[in-house]
Amino acid sequence: MEATIYNTKGKEAGKLALNEKVWGLSWNADLVHQVVESMRSNARMSTAQVKDRSAVSGGGKKPWAQKGTGRARHGSSRSPIWRHGGVTHGPMNEKDYSKKINKKVRAKALYTVLSEKFRNGEVLFIDTISMKSPKTAEAKGILSALSSVKGFEKMLTKRKNAAYFATGEKSEAVSKSFSNFGNIDFDAVENMNPIDLLNHKYVVIVSPEKAISFIEGKLPSVAAVATK
Read off the pLDDT of residues 64-116 as tens digits, 9 standing for 90 and up. 999 999 999 999 999 999 999 999 999 988 889 999 999 999 999 999 999 99
pTM: 0.81
Burial class, 172, CB count within 10 angstroms (exposed 0-12 / middle 13-18 / buried 19+)? exposed
Helices (H), ranges, the chain: 20-23, 29-43, 103-119, 136-146, 172-178, 194-198, 208-215, 219-222
Q: Does 132 share its domain with 175?
A: yes
Q: Please give the average per-residue pLDDT across 54-73, as a whole number.
A: 93
Burial class, 227, CB count within 10 angstroms (exposed 0-12 / middle 13-18 / buried 19+)? exposed
At 220, the pLDDT band (50, 70, 90 cuts) reads low
Q: What is the pLDDT of residue 103?
A: 92
* Cα(127)–Cα(168) distance, integer angstroms: 10
Q: Does 25 share its domain with 102?
A: yes
Domain with 21, as residue range(s), is 2-44+98-222
135 found inside a domain: yes
CA neighbor of 149 nearest in space, from 204, 196, 186 = 204
Tens digits of residue pLDDT in 156-185 = 889 999 999 999 888 899 999 999 999 999
What is the CATH number for 215? 3.40.1370.10
Q: Does 20 share its domain with 73?
A: no
Q: Does 31 share its domain with 134?
A: yes
At 228, the pLDDT band (50, 70, 90 cuts) reads very low
Q: What is the pLDDT of residue 108?
A: 95
Is 90 exceeded by the pLDDT of residue 120?
A: yes
Q: Does 67 share its domain with 104?
A: no
Q: What is the pLDDT of residue 221?
A: 55
* Cα(17)–Cα(2) distance, integer angstroms: 5
User: Count of CB atoms within 10 A of residue 61's CB?
Assistant: 9
Residue 150 contacts by C-beta under 8 Å, 6 or more apart in sequence?
A: none
User: Count of CB atoms within 10 A of residue 135's CB?
Assistant: 15
Tens digits of residue pLDDT in 193-202 = 999 999 999 9
